[in-house]
Amino acid sequence: MTERIYLDWNATSPLRPEARAAMIAALDEVGNPSSVHREGRTARHLVEQARERVAALVRAEPRNVVFTSGGTEANMMALTPALETSGTRFDRLMVSSVEHASVRAGGGFPTHQVEAIPVTADGVVDIGALERRLNELQRQGLRPPLVSIMAANNETGVIQPIKAAAAIVHAAGGLLHVDAVQAVGRIPFDINESDADLMTVSAHKLGGPQGVGALIRRSAALHFAEPLLRGGGQERGARAGTENVAGIAGFGAAAACAMATMTADGERMRAMRDRLEAGLANGPTVVFGQNAERLPNTSLFAAHGLRAETALINLDLGGFAVSSGSACSSGKVTASHVLAAMGVPDKLSSGAIRLSIGPSTGESEINLFLEAWMKLLAGLSKRKRGLAA
């Protein structure tokens, strides 16, 4: 069997050994965190310790962290008309046109109340357009919206100007939710510094388990009038249901590790990503969002004439796990809404391949990938010449 090279860390990252150990220890405990006996208190301690660790990673207050079943649920929970600071309901949601599907779905807002904010050709949210639209709403005497902008894009890695967006949204009286799933654990993100009102985090993008995440508030004054899951009073009434203790413990351990290693890991990944892109520059390959500030681990690129399906299958057979830039949740590659929003023609975007690396990705893996990519391109130009002959 060919040795596998995993270059798809934005889809999910390998479980950190520390997270695995914390999960196994938690699985051996019997208590329900809501029980008052000793077993229950032990389970409660694991949950609260994890809450502190996740909070510390983004400098939030632990009491403002609500554990969920992942990033999707946290996004769903945040995007509700019944998100209240002073009893007012939202009747409009604005989301950037490059958001993850779980944000674009609009949460609890009906479709006609969801508006898209455009991005530039580099994939950066058009802050000017956002400001003009918010001013227009104000002039028309309409209520300020809830706005959702991601911290970093899952396909391109492009980092969004969250602080600038927060200033504009707050000046208009709105609230800002930030899907920080791809950013947290890879680049520093401080909820107070960013001025985001709410943020979403997912454990499995930072070396924790799949199926656990959190919605984090900057201030406890913000509350959810109609929680998605009602019943027991878990998570201070924000999300009912017995906590996923082992998953949460793994999330906490992964968060603590990410906090300790983020700077050094970031430098290492950036060096590898730059090596990859320097190699790609030797062929007719276009890298998307390259002029914008990006996550250190992500590169999205395409070569004219090479379809993503063809490249993915060939690379998989050659031992490489990479992704197409576009969504393929059902195993079928569809056009990337991110590249469409950036104005990339379908013909080119249908070939987009995303490489997302991790701290353990080494030079040899990058070199082997480049070799395989160049071989694919050589095969393509041979076929083209054959057709022309």
**What is the set of active-site residues?**
328
Q: Which of 47, 57, 137, 181 binds ligand PLP (CB under 6 A)?
A: 181
Segment near ligand PLP (CB under 6 A), from 70-78, 225-233, 236-244, 375-383?
Answer: 70-78
Binding mask 2-31 for ligand PLP (x = CB under 6 A): ------------------------------
* Position 202 contacts ligand PLP (CB under 6 A): yes
Q: Which of 64, 96, 102, 194 binds ligand PLP (CB under 6 A)?
A: 102
Classify residue 64 by its DSSP letter: G
Q: How many CB atoms lie within 10 A of CB 22?
A: 27
Segment near ligand PLP (CB under 6 A), from 19-27, 55-63, 66-74, 214-222?
Answer: 66-74
Q: Which of 23, 57, 65, 70 binds ligand PLP (CB under 6 A)?
A: 70
- Residue 328 or 335: the one with the smaller Cβ distance to ligand PLP is 328
Binding mask 110-149 for ligand PLP (x = CB under 6 A): ----------------------------------------
* Position 154 contacts ligand PLP (CB under 6 A): yes
Residue nearest to ligand PLP (CB): 71
Residue that is written with structure tokens 């920080």 in the block? 180
Decide: helix, strand or coil at residue 272: helix
- Residue 80 or 285: the one with the smaller Cβ distance to ligand PLP is 80
CA distances from 313 to 270, 353, 356 (A): 27, 12, 17
Contacts of 192 (CB under 8 A, 6+ apart): 59, 60, 218
Report in angstroms how near the CB of residue 107 gets to ligand PLP at its nearest. Answer: 12
Judge residue 132's burial from the number of C-beta atoms within 10 Å of its C-beta, 0-12 exposed, 13-18 middle, 19 or more buried.
exposed
Percent helix, strand and coil across the chain, each rounded to 5?
A: 40, 15, 40
Report in angstroms how near the CB of residue 219 gets to ligand PLP at its nearest. Answer: 23
Whether residue 300 contacts residue 288, with contact meaning beta carbons closer than 8 Å, is answered with yes
* Position 324 contacts ligand PLP (CB under 6 A): no
Judge residue 111's burial from the number of C-beta atoms within 10 Å of its C-beta, 0-12 exposed, 13-18 middle, 19 or more buried.
exposed
- Residue 172 or 328: the one with the smaller Cβ distance to ligand PLP is 328
Whether residue 300 contacts residue 353, with contact meaning beta carbons closer than 8 Å, is answered with yes
Tell me the number of residues near ligand PLP by CB under 6 A: 13
CA distances from 196 to 90, 91, 373 (A): 17, 20, 40
CA distances from 285 to 166, 188, 189, 302, 308 (A): 35, 30, 32, 6, 13
Q: Which of 179, 195, 197, 365 binds ligand PLP (CB under 6 A)?
A: 179
- Tell me the C-alpha distance between 381 and 285, whole Å: 13
* Position 243 contacts ligand PLP (CB under 6 A): no
Whether residue 109 contacts residue 81, with contact meaning beta carbons closer than 8 Å, is answered with yes
Report in angstroms how near the CB of residue 228 gets to ligand PLP at its nearest. Answer: 14
Q: Which of 150, 169, 215, 258 binds ligand PLP (CB under 6 A)?
A: 150
* Position 155 contacts ligand PLP (CB under 6 A): no
Binding mask 273-312 for ligand PLP (x = CB under 6 A): ----------------------------------------
* Position 71 contacts ligand PLP (CB under 6 A): yes
- Residue 10 or 285: the one with the smaller Cβ distance to ligand PLP is 10
Contacts of 52 (CB under 8 A, 6+ apart): 62, 252
Dihedral Cα 201, 202, 208, 210, nearest 10 deg:
160
The contact set with ligand PLP (CB under 6 A) reads 70-72, 75, 100, 102, 150, 154, 179, 181-182, 202, 213
